[in-house]
Amino acid sequence: MKKYITIILLTLAFIAFCLLEYNRKNESKVLEIVSPDTIVVDINKNGRKDFDETICVADVESYKFDINDTETIGFWYLANQFALKNLQEKHVKLNFTGEKTSTCSYAHVNVGNKDYGQLLDKNNFNINNLNEEKTKEQKDIINRMNLVIYNHKSKIVHKLDCKFGKLSHDAVILPFKQIIHEGRKCKYCMGEGSDYKNKSKYKKQKSKQDFHARPILKYYPNEIVDGNFKLIISDHTNTLKPDDKCNFSMCKNFVQLINSSKSTIDIASYGFDNIPAVISALENAKNRGVKIRIVYDVNSSGQNTVYPETHNFLSSFDKNQLKNDYSKEKVKSSIIMHNKFAIFDKTTVFTGSMNFSRTGFSGFNSNSVLIINSLRSAKIFEHEFEQMFNGKFHQAKTEETQNYPGEYAIYFSPQDKVITNKIIPLVKEAQNYIYIPIFVITHEELTQALINAHNRGVDVKLITDATNAKISRSKVKILRKAGIPVKIENYAGKMHSKTIIIDDNYLILGSMNFSKSGENKNDENCVIIKNSKLTKFYKGFFEYMWTKIPDVYLKRYPMPESSESVGSCTDGVDNDFDGKIDSVDESCAKY
């Protein structure tokens, strides 16, 4: 009898598994919420939004964002929050009606065995079927929220009906209590006589509704020197458009090092943009007899499509002084030469997370660069460069790790397995805090080490880039579920750093993303510095950035090209890599 019961249970379990697998294959992930009744769904399961993947919810019309319609903007906000709660990062099943427009296909959307359109209707977000009593309740909620227009770029708060607020290109609608700013209020709509200017009334509001506005620094120093080290960091919250002017510290320092070089310049870079000041400096160096050699990345077709200007940039150099990582191994895999370093006169090293591009040199992306004046360090980087210049990339290289007790250590991927062998042990030893500003985190063992550190009382915090926060391998969701605060940056440029700051003691930075590919496949470099002064400086920058990013993004995922990401709709950059820029992108067009 027991045998038959076991067989029946196993059969039922198998059927249940098959049903779940069938449902999973027939569901698609929501990539973006354009409005409460319009979403982007990954129908072809390629991980990015394509032209024909915008879905309008059938039989429902919800509130649309209209900055000029102050009467319904609060209802739009409530409906949009409802959509985020019910659809963001969820898998849905689509039942197409056959109706199409130039912008979307209509479908019934099923999420968690519930009809999303019916949920909108039930919660009074279908404007074709509004309930007066529920509408009145929602009005009370909206009044308590005290929605305002917040212009991220100018850091000014406006009332919803303010004509200057409506003109703001980088404005977002938020409850006043969620805003983090320098306390600047629009003089036109919040001047003398306004509720916000009246201190006694403001205090009364604050006690009742927990309103707050935390003053923060508008700028943080971008470089520090200690001994043989110069550390430079870029703040993408204050640079909302990339350019090729070379006005930023990282570019100026790079050009200065080129101009002062007397004999050799060796550069290993993922790719290049044509920055006139850099090109001119290299041309002048070449004309005065400086030997310039360059190693760069190409894809499996022998091209650099990430930085298409690479070919033109290199065209003026002797072909015998150029080397890329194209090989049979390259054709079969996705490995890359991801370094970003240069060695000047075999004495000075320029390295870090910054690509030699407009978005890097202008400070549009948040990066870290380390300049090391040291013959020993230059020798280590030179050994790595020589291997690549002589055709030994990726797994073909030999190990060249060197430590300087009490100072720093230099590591290279894939030989040194630096995350497993060096970074995780430091995480395990951390006692007070671990702060991490990064482009992406997908490394399972490092993620678990951070969770373990959090569980033993270490203050673990991460700031990560918006574009990569939702990719399938991202560990953001796992870290948040474990109770670790993870903020997702909401600015046009990328959080492109690859940095870990530990206990006012250790600073880890370089070109290596915290991923298995970064550790085990790509050509990368990573420097671990034991230096209290530099670590405390970077810690201050992390805290500054943490304060600047609204707390709402401890839970939410800001869309990288939308009004949520400051400057992304006016920067001329395809921030979410969907082939659409600024107002052409649906997420920007609605604003």
pLDDT digit string, tens, across residues 329-359: 777 788 999 999 999 999 999 999 999 999 9
DSSP letter at 420? I
Q: What is the Cα–Cα distance from 383 to 91, expressed in whole angstroms?
A: 49
Is-contact 364 374, C-beta < 8 A?
no
Pair type for strands 348-352 and 340-344: antiparallel
**Active-site hit among 494, 498, 521, 580:** 498
Q: What is the Cα–Cα distance from 463 to 550, expressed in whole angstroms?
A: 12
Q: 557: closest CA among 546, 545, 549?
A: 549
135: which 2 tokens?
């509408």
For residue 189, is pLDDT > 70? yes
The residue assigned the tokens 């399972």 is 444
Of 228-237, 295-304, 428-437, the range with the lowest mean pLDDT is 295-304
Residue 467: HSE in the Cβ half-sphere, 13 Å Cα cutoff: 18
**Active-site hit among 49, 496, 548, 580:** 496
Q: What is the Cα–Cα distance from 235 to 354, expressed in whole angstroms?
A: 12
Q: What value does the mean pLDDT take over residues 149-177?
A: 76
Active site residue 59: no
Q: 174: closest CA among 551, 588, 571, 516?
A: 551
Is-contact 264 345, C-beta < 8 A?
yes
The confidence score (pLDDT) of residue 30 equals: 87
Evaluate the omega torsion of the peptide bond into residue 276 and state whether it is cis, within 30 degrees of 0: no
For residue 409, is pLDDT > 70? yes
DSSP letter at 523? B
CB neighbourhood size of 27 (10 A): 16
Q: What is the Cα–Cα distance from 510 to 412, expressed in whole angstroms?
A: 10
Is-contact 404 388, C-beta < 8 A?
no
Is-contact 166 149, C-beta < 8 A?
yes
The confidence score (pLDDT) of residue 590 equals: 55
567: which 2 tokens?
């400057």
For residue 405, is pLDDT > 80? no
Which domains does the chain show, CATH number per domain?
14-129 (2.40.50.90), 146-209 (no CATH), 223-554 (3.30.870.10)
Cβ-Cβ contacts under 8 Å for 11 (sequence gap 6 or more): none
Beta bridge partners of 573: none
Pair type for strands 54-57 and 368-373: unpaired
Active site residue 496: yes
The proportion of the chain whose per-residue pLDDT surpasses 70, expressed as a percent, equals: 87
246: which 2 tokens?
């070379």
The confidence score (pLDDT) of residue 194 equals: 46
* Span 1-50, pLDDT tens digits: 666 666 666 666 655 555 544 555 578 888 888 889 998 898 888 777 77
pTM for this entry: 0.77
The confidence score (pLDDT) of residue 53 equals: 87
Q: What value does the mean pLDDT take over residues 208-222?
A: 56
Confidence bin at 203 (pLDDT 50/70/90): very low
Q: What is the Cα–Cα distance from 371 to 350, expressed in whole angstroms?
A: 5
The confidence score (pLDDT) of residue 25 equals: 59
Is-contact 449 427, C-beta < 8 A?
yes
* Span 69-101, pLDDT tens digits: 888 888 988 998 898 888 877 889 999 999 988
**Active-site hit among 325, 503, 571, 576:** 503
Active site residue 498: yes
